[in-house]
Structure formats: C-alpha cells, structure tokens
Structure 1
Amino acid sequence: MRNCFTRIALSAVALLLSTSLAPAIDVPVKTPDVKGAAKATSNSTKNSAKGVVTDAKAAAKAKIVDINTASEAELKAIPGIGDTYASKIVAGRPYANKAQLKSRKIVPDTVYEKIKDLIIAKQPKKK
C-alpha cells in the first residue's frame, strides 16, 4: 500500500515540477511563412493536377485492345493477362460486351478491374 502511495506521490510531484518548469525553458519557435506555405500549396496543387492530366493522356494513348479480334500476343501485352487468360479470351469469342469476360468467368473480378479500361468488345459490322 505504501509502495503504491509513494509511486502516486512521486508521479504527482514530477507532473507539478514539469508544468511549473515548462515556462522557464526557452524554446525558440519558428513561425511559418504563411505566404510561402500558400505558394507551396498552390504549386503542389498545380503539379498534382498536371499529373492527373498526364495520366489521362497516357491512358488515352494506351492502345485499346478489341477482345473480339485481338491475337493472343496482343492480349498478353495487356498488364494482368498471361498465356492462360489470353487463350481463354480467344476461346470464348465472340463477346457482346467486355463485361462478359467477368460474367462468363473468363477472368476473375480483380483482373477485370485492372484491364477494363484497356479493352473493348467491338461488334462486326453487318453487311
């Protein structure tokens, strides 16, 4: 019991000393440059917006692959598509839409989510 009381008393004394000595310690505080911070934030926002535009342009430049006409080699060039999935895609043709890769269980959902923006399922023109 005395040991517990001693610990509590020492903790209280330490707390009182630390709070009473805190104002005596002189710690230099550097105030932030508000104008500089605003400029930095503005520049980082502009740079991140440029990155989004660049990513969109890169995606637009990426070759969209038609899953109804692409060769296995063209399909394997899509990130996430290997030999097995390329063979399954070719064997499952024709596709009315690209979502059929998922609904027919040609590729798993995780792979489909990665490739859905890189593929298309064009329909042959009627004569």
Structure 2
Amino acid sequence: MSFKAFLATMVILLNAVAVHAQGARPAPPAAPASGLIDLNSASRDDLMSLDGIGEVRADAIIRARPFKAKTELVERRLIPEALYEKIADKVMARPPPVAPAPRPAQPAPKRT
C-alpha cells in the first residue's frame, strides 16, 4: 500500500469516528434558521450579545414578553429608535405557540 493510499484510508477512518462520536452527544439547542435572535424566547445572555443591550434592557425585554412584532421594542419605549435601527436586522419576534382552547366539560351522564 502506498503512503497516499494509507493516508487516505486514515482520513476516512478518522472522519467516520468523528461522525459516530458526534451522534452520541446531545444536540445543542436549535438556533433560529435565519440566525436572528427571537425576542420572545432569547435568553438574557443572547439579548445582551446585541450592541447596546445590557443587563437592564435585556431584563426589561424579557419582562415585556410576548411581542407580536419587533417594532414593539420602540413602541413600548424599551429602547430608543436609534438603537433599534442598529439591531433590527439581528432580531425577530416569533409568535409564541398558541395553546389549544380548552374543551368545555362534558356533562356527567344522568343516572336513572
């Protein structure tokens, strides 16, 4: 076997081991596919990763949830418009999941 063939075989084996090892680990939390930070579910640390959002503003955003639109950050006076313009392309407001309406209770059958 030539050195190149040996090296190629080792690379294939190492890749197979790496893929198998990754399958054994739990998957990290799913980030939005678009890479945007969801105002309705982001952690305090995620919000603080945005320029101009510190502890106080991150906490205020969390307390003000849920948001129907990201523009509510300015409408509710959580951040100034100039700051909103800086972060608007980095955030989104995904609507929270709607819980199904409770069913009315069925009357108990009458005993005769």
Give the TM interval when normalised to the shorter protein: 0.5 to 0.7
For the residue of structure 1 that corresponds to 2:89, the secondary structure is coil
For 1:95 and 1:112, how far apart are their aligned partners in 2? Answer: 15
1:84 aligns with 2:52: no
Matches within 5 A, 1:59-70: 63-70=35-42
1:112 aligns with 2:84: yes
1:74 aligns with 2:8: no
1:103 aligns with 2:75: yes
CA contact (8 A) 2:66 2:96 kept: no
Q: 1:80 to 1:102 in 2, by over 3 A?
A: same
More helix by percentage = 1
TM-score (norm 1): 0.49
2:6 corresponds in structure 1 to none
CA contact (8 A) 1:65 1:74 kept: yes
Runs of 4+ with >3 A deviation: none
Structure with the greater alpha carbon radius of gyration: 1
TM-score (norm 2): 0.55
Unaligned runs of 5+ in 2: 1-32, 101-112
Percent identity reads 34
Q: 1:106 to 1:122 in 2, by over 3 A?
A: same
User: How far is 1:79 from its partner?
Assistant: 1.5
Q: How many matched pairs?
A: 67
**AA of the residue aligned to 1:107:** I
